[in-house]
Structure 1
Amino acid sequence: MKAAALIKSISFIMETEHIKCLIIGSGPAGYTAAIYAARAGLNPVMYTGMNPGGQLTQTTDVENFPGYPKGILGPDMMEDFREQAIRFGTDIRFGYVSAANFVNDPHQVIIDDKKTVIADTVIISTGASAKWLGLESEAKYNGFGVSGCAVCDGYFFRGQDIALVGGGDTAAEEATYLAKLVNKVYMLVRREEFRASKTMIDRVRNTHNIEILYNTEVLEVLGDGLNVTGVSLLNNRTQQQLQIPVTGLFVAIGHHPNTGIFRGMLDMDETGYIKTIPGTTATNIPGVFCAGDAQDHIYRQAITAAGTGCMAALDAERYLAAKEAARALVTKLNR
């Protein structure tokens, strides 16, 4: 059964609530949208998703967000965002979107399979998730030497030897970025060749402190119980195993946006990132906006996510103001 038909068939037995502005997902984009929407009098309601605070709650030190000159732990920064959103009146609730129908205006969203929210505007800030290798040791040292973001964490590995997994353009870009900071980058490419563009391949090969290991897979992340000390590798062509001493492992095998629930309703690219009208956060559906990593596969930074969160709230405010002005004009003409 399609989402719209499902909502129509079950919403009449559910608790229903009508609100001006619904924010789906937390993190820098969602909380910033909430701050601006609340200050604009939109009385926003936020459903945090199953991971309140988003990816930053899984990181340690954040040193590149303005306003924190001494740095801050990711979870602490998200708690600051949350408190500021609450201060201005945002109604923050734990819950997830289980179905949505953007065909009708206002829009209908099902929360936790048991409640219907009817929203005049919707801001999607569900973010994206890094793809991981799936190793138990990788999860153990995530945030303690294992990272999915070179720009976020590369600074902490200055002058050290690190490894990076990946063979696409993102991996090549992150390897050359890291090479400016660290002593040496071991670039681990699973295939016999890169998937990256020729320009990026040439850039990697011309960087003196990047050593490329082809046909190489990570078997295990090694550590002392606190931090990464090396990686165990397998050459999948010769079946030889080796270990290299490194203090960090960067995983650059891609991200996937958390947008599956909206597939078929909103315009997306081939990997699921929501398309927005250039210069705005508006989607192809009037009254539905998208901010943060759910629509950004290029920058993926907390500060850019927060910026688009601000944009989404302003876009929602202006959308509602324009609708109200149009209604007032129709009423005046009908008198």
Structure 2
Amino acid sequence: MARVVLHIGTHKTATTTIQDMFAHNAALLRQHGVIYPRLSRVAGHHGLVMEWNRLPEIYAVPNGSIETLKQLSKDYAHVPGTLFLSSEEFSRGKPGARVDFRAVRELLSGFEGISVVCVLREQWQFMQSIYLQASKERQPPKPSVMIQSVLKQDMTDGLWTDYNLLYDHLLEAFAPEEIAFLDFDTCRRHPDGIVGAMLDHLGCGLSGASLQVVHGGQSNVSPLSLPTWAACAISEPDRAPAWLIESTTGAFRAEHGEEATPCLWTRGEFAQLTTYSRRRNDRLSERVKAVQPDFRISQSEPGETVVFRDGLAASFWTRCCRWMYRARKPALSG
């Protein structure tokens, strides 16, 4: 039976790692009934959403989203196995950038079955990772602004933070039994990590240990949150350069030790996000209980090693100045 599985993210749930590993091991996967096609210069299939969301040209597929989806159906709808298409851009919620899944489903209607798999993570972690990803490209929004956006609009940076809204959007095109949610932290605890968890979901009989590792098994790794925030605060309105983030990271480790876990939020913001997420995540669990009775989004409690944003003392900023001076001293002396 030919089927297609859409892996739609969400963002910052090891999507790039899955895409890179699947692309690198495409031949082995094909032998076990999983087809992972190369569509553009990047491993992810982001070009498939560009009919609805204009992304950088590096992601574009030569014949455009619509024609490529038609061609995929023509090429693989009658081939036994599973066509696995992966892009976190499928899960964007901003009006004007949302994918029309009814159209996607129609374009892939040649397949005997179609389903969606989506990895979700606790909102405070999800939002923190979004901040860090944005910081690689531009000056990111202030954490307090992100909090207000979430509390008022259930969205940040064009991404839904109330996952019930994403579920509503998917239900416009898919039946509940065609939608599978996976918990990010549970996937990370899989013996073969999130790649192994995804292989298990596909039921292809392969283990993560069978795949050749690329990029050390982790792609697009984010820097530490609080040092990055500190670097962004210093460089505002410009994007924080790598040398500055390295300096603030060194200062943070010197101040708090190697075991410290930085958290982008203040204690008050963390409490707000915890209240916000638990109510919404409990509702999602209840809604999917008929088809996924055991699904829950992991909820974490801050340990003793967590350093919140309002826990940074003046001594940390003094250390930042010293690390910055040492980093630039060769240029200054020259």
Return the structure number with greater helix share: 2
| TM value normalised by structure 1 | 0.29
TM-score norm. by structure 2 comes to 0.29
User: Which protein is bigger by CA-based radius of gyration?
Assistant: 1
